[in-house]
Chain A
């Protein structure tokens, strides 16, 4: 997906955290169970924060920064 809006960026971040949770949960067995459970817990916390950011910080007044984000993405690529 093109990351041209805050929603797209945060949606992408939410998806990554979701994938991370699934991965950590799958790995959480045997000797490393606690370690991976801790990692999964961290991802769940970040997922909640991202979801909260999408609800509370995306006001129309800050949408104008989209251009800056696009430039950053181009630089990263």
Chain B
């Protein structure tokens, strides 16, 4: 076992959990145990919160410029260990090396943005709001925040929040995914090396029990979550019931609308990357193609032709274009959805179920799968599959495509493929989704923009990243001043 039993990082110390509950962490390409993760106790969560609360008192008084400098040191370490970290993500998650590199890059970009906190955290003021009276608004840190992280971007997602949270003067606790906890543990080794004061950042391994302990703890001021919609609803409502602020990014069923005037080859490439990148396990993954008019037939043919060529295997092999899905349970769920699609009458035009890889007989592989003749009322059109399964719906016109999207419960992302600016404006104006792609299959905002989301894809007011993040991690205080 490459990584042994993972430890918690609390108050600047690596501490072995006392929990008797320990899960295996498996490399999904070879189905071998590479680490073991303890499900930390309520007492250990409390220990982390107390450490973070104690650190907050001095940390909030640390000058913003000094807090920002830790980010420069952290970035340097992440750049130095870039390849190591990327390969680690492939082993614990299964995505291909390029995708892992992209993930680490996005994590670093969040560190870079947070280094600008002395500017980002500026307040504002107006002189003479009344005779001889001035008014100002200042931004202040709040206290202890926590992140409950998903398995699909195990290194990046906590870094949507952590750098901004601590540079604005808060202290932080990360609960990594119990499926893919290793890369976050390694990132905490780097945070330890940059020598942040003890308790500013803490890591508590665990699963649902650990999460629930964080949600009800009176010492936690706010929670950031990324995951499925049912869990997001639970976290949002529990956090609110316990007086916490919460930002919960949830599930998706993203539509890729293809107009008859779209550039076919490049559209197909973008759709394939969107639907099958990271084996479809992304909240921005394209799940439904809405093909309008005469482009439907050539688009369908080309999608099947190109998708059937995608090389599936272990992500550490750089010739591979799609890795395994994360767990046996995920694989069974995806295969169940494919069965359901057949039952519902959709036409399976590319079947990825029975893929055999001689070198990886025990891996959790599902090859690219495409359904045609999908109807908007089918389960495979309405529920998030979170795997490499793409559905094609033929629609008559732009308005019908908008209606299909409006009928879906989710609003995470939507893409339009066209060469017509008029349709682009209509799409941006009318579609209720947080992240819009125009001739882009994966509309992933960079670190200085919020990762948006609407409908059942987001619960909360302020999103991760960008100005929203600064607002989420600070309180506004208004000061009205008159001197006698």
Contact = CB atoms under 8 A, between A and B. Distances in A.
Contacts of B103: 60
A60 B97 contact: no
Contact of A67 (B82, B83, B101, B269): B269
Nearest to A59: B102
Contacts of B318: 1, 5, 7-8, 11
Question: How many of chain B's residues touch chain A, expressed as a range?
Answer: 20 to 34
Interface string B74-85: 000001001100
Nearest to A62: B102
B440 A63 contact: no
Nearest to A70: B309
Given A55-B79, A61-B444, A66-B321, A6 B269 contact: no
A30 interface: no
Interface string A37-77: 00000000000000000111011110111111000000000
A58 B270 CA distance: 15
A7 B321 CA distance: 10
B98 A63 contact: yes
B392 interface: no
Interface in A4-24: 4-8, 11
A54 B96 contact: no
Interface residues of A, number: 22
Interface in B79-108: 79, 82-83, 96-99, 101-103, 105-106
B277 interface: yes
A67 B265 contact: yes
Nearest to A55: B82
Contacts of B96: 5, 7
A58 B444 CA distance: 14
B319 A64 contact: no
Contacts of A60: 99, 102-103, 106, 277-278, 442, 444
A3 interface: yes
B447 to A, nearest CB: 11
Interface of A: 1-8, 11, 54-56, 58-61, 63-68
Interface of B: 79, 82-83, 96-99, 101-103, 105-106, 265-266, 268-270, 272-274, 277-278, 306, 311, 318-321, 440-442, 444
6 contacts: A2-B311, A7-B98, A8-B318, A61-B444, A66-B321, A67-B265
Given A4-B311, A5-B98, A63-B273, 13 more contacts: A1-B318, A5-B96, A5-B97, A7-B101, A11-B318, A55-B79, A58-B98, A61-B442, A63-B98, A63-B277, A64-B270, A64-B273, A64-B442
